[in-house]
Amino acid sequence: MIKKIFLYTLFTLILIAGGSISIGYYFLQQFSTKQMQVTAENQMFVLKKGTSMHQLVEQVKESKLLESAYLLPYLCKLNPSLRSIKAGTYQLHPHMTVEEFLQLLVSGKESNFSIQFVEGKRAKDWLNVIQTTPYIQQTLAGKTEDEIAKLLGIEGSIEGWLSPDTYQYTADTLDINILKRAHMIMKSNLQKIWDNRDSNLPYQSPYELLIIASIIEKETGISSERANVASVFVNRLKSKMKLQTDPTIIYGLGDNYKGTIRRVDLTDTQNPYNTYVIEGLPPTPIAMPSLASLEAAAHPAKTNYLFFVANGTGGHTFSTTYSNHQQAVNVYRQLSNGGN
């Protein structure tokens, strides 16, 4: 401590003494090239709004980034361009020098973070992700999905109305603002796809296309199958057949779904998403559909398929008749039972 006070006093006298300016300049130049003590590759430094140079010195000391932090004001006096530090969250990197550290704070180039919204997940899943992602300002905690939908300007359910993607943001970005971006992208994509859809589709609105796209998303993750899956649902709707798709039942069961659809679930008239009972579409989407599923719903394959079932290898077997479908179901059951 005595040594630091001595150096501090000596350095002050050097700066005051006109004949020793060159010595002080050399000393500060050496200090500016000193490396910060950054110990992690993704170490963050948060500079709050209104932080003074004195407070910056204290923060750097407390963070153990620089032993001689008290020299920072003198370096800024020597180089005035380093004075205008800006509030933000900055990513430091190993081996950065004192001057590089100050230049980063002056640049205002905050660190960018990312959050990934995965296709096929439900709104509740996405809300859980956003609530547990760091550096996001949380304003939606405790709000229901319906309340959040109103904040986004959505009439009805929020389900299906957010576009899956990876979104970049800076620290303290509001959670609602990230959701607004996801909603505007989905809204724009849906309208463009609706405007360019095939003719004679059994959808009465873009929202109905969104519902079908969400079901396609849950039925298959194979890109080459999406158009065929879409054709099955289109053909069923045109033929006034029930959709009979398991993902809608699962969605309607919510937390009551335990991994298996029971026989009683197939006949449950209280589940509005039970497409084995209801006519036409479920009341809302059942997941956040990808752009590929939206396109498949708008441009289904031209087939006579009315059925499909898993083939045991990750894909599906498509059939035009019930008898062929039953054969495919039996094959799948044999594979599931180990060939017995």
Q: Check residue 340 and give its pLDDT.
A: 53
CB 144 within 8 A of CB 205: no
- The values of phi and psi at residue 228, to 5°, are -70, -40
Q: Check residue 25 and give its pLDDT.
A: 76
Q: Check residue 336 and give its pLDDT.
A: 73
Query: Tens-of-pLDDT digits for all 340 residues of the chain?
Result: 544 544 444 455 455 444 455 667 788 888 999 999 998 888 999 999 999 999 999 999 999 999 899 999 999 998 999 999 999 999 999 999 999 999 999 999 999 999 999 999 999 999 999 999 999 999 999 999 999 999 999 999 999 999 999 999 999 999 999 999 999 999 999 999 999 999 999 999 999 999 999 999 999 989 999 999 999 999 999 999 999 999 999 999 999 999 999 999 999 999 999 999 999 999 999 999 999 999 999 999 999 999 999 988 889 999 999 999 999 999 888 877 765 5
Q: Check residue 42 and give its pLDDT.
A: 81
Q: Check residue 11 and give its pLDDT.
A: 53
CB 125 within 8 A of CB 162: no
Q: Check residue 335 and give its pLDDT.
A: 79
